[in-house]
Amino acid sequence: MNISLDGKVVAIAGATGGLGPTVAQVFARAGAALSLVDRDAAKLDALVASLGAPPERHHRATVDLLDPEQTRAWAGQIQQRYGRVDVVLHLVGGYRGGQKIAEFPGEDWALLKQLLIETTWNVMRAFVEPLKASRGRFILVSSPQSQKPAHVNAAYAACKAASETLTLALADEFKGSGATANIILVNAILTPQMRAEKPDADYSKFTSAEDIAGAMLYLCSDAAANMNGQRLSLFGAR
């Protein structure tokens, strides 16, 4: 399916993480103008340069998404620059796990709550009204651990489940507006960098960053206009 996003404005939170650069490339090729956010200005500059478009087409901002005021200011910057926001891709992630429940470090629990819950909450609150106005799309990447948690990943699973709950609540608020909020589930993400560094590794249970970006593109298309509050699973074929 050839999906065009010409004239659309896409905000990407966590743009320079493992998944972000591939998603940015796919959405830029589809014609979207991008607003890219992370905390590392140098990485953001490199990402914008890699998109091969005139620098004025895309917007980048260093934002601490744990700060509600900074997050709202980001949403305001996009609207001031482009007049609209059509898509928000929430790619902020992080993982800590592998320990039994009683052994899990308190500082890792605090970090996961910040990365997976608080950033989702702040981004949702900043963009809910702009997305309603544009009949836009909100997409979260999550894990099947949220529904089938293992004891060694209890904290990660709990935080993923919370972020999914927030997204499904957003979908409920979107009802009747034409906007949608959906979740993409993956076991693990295979990035181009991982493939280049370890080309012979077994990635059979991973989902490629390209496939995830393609699923996001579909959720932003007219064909997915009636998909709201859904979990789209991109794992289990092998």
Express each pLDDT in 185-232 by its tens digit: 998 888 888 888 888 888 888 899 999 999 999 999 999 999 999 999
Instruction: Write down the pLDDT at residue 188.
Output: 84
Closest CA to 38 of 30, 29, 48: 48
**Cα–Cα distance measured from residue 62 to residue 40, given in angstroms and rounded to the nearest whole number:** 7
**Number of separate domains in the chain:** 1
Confidence band, pLDDT 50/70/90 cuts, at residue 237: low
- What is the pTM (predicted TM-score) of this model? 0.94
**Cα–Cα distance measured from residue 98 to residue 152, given in angstroms and rounded to the nearest whole number:** 5
**Cα–Cα distance measured from residue 43 to residue 5, given in angstroms and rounded to the nearest whole number:** 25
Q: Is residue 152 part of a domain?
A: yes
Q: Is residue 4 part of a domain?
A: no
Three-state DSSP class for residue 149: coil
Q: Is residue 138 part of a domain?
A: yes
The dihedral through the CA atoms of 208, 91, 183, 23 has a sign that is negative
Structure tokens at 117: 């819950």
Mind listing the pLDDT tens digit for each residue in 130-186? Answer: 999 999 999 999 998 888 888 988 889 999 999 999 999 999 999 999 999 999 999
Residue 45: CATH number of its domain = 3.40.50.720
**Cα–Cα distance measured from residue 152 to residue 158, given in angstroms and rounded to the nearest whole number:** 12
CA distances from 51 to 23, 56, 108, 199 (A): 11, 12, 34, 25
Mind listing the pLDDT tens digit for each residue in 104-128? Answer: 888 988 999 999 999 999 999 999 9
Q: Is residue 238 part of a domain?
A: no
Mean pLDDT of 58-65: 95
Instruction: Write down the pLDDT at residue 189.
Output: 87
Residue range of the domain that includes 192: 9-233
Q: How far apart are the first and last CA of the chain?
A: 24
Structure tokens at 123: 């981004």
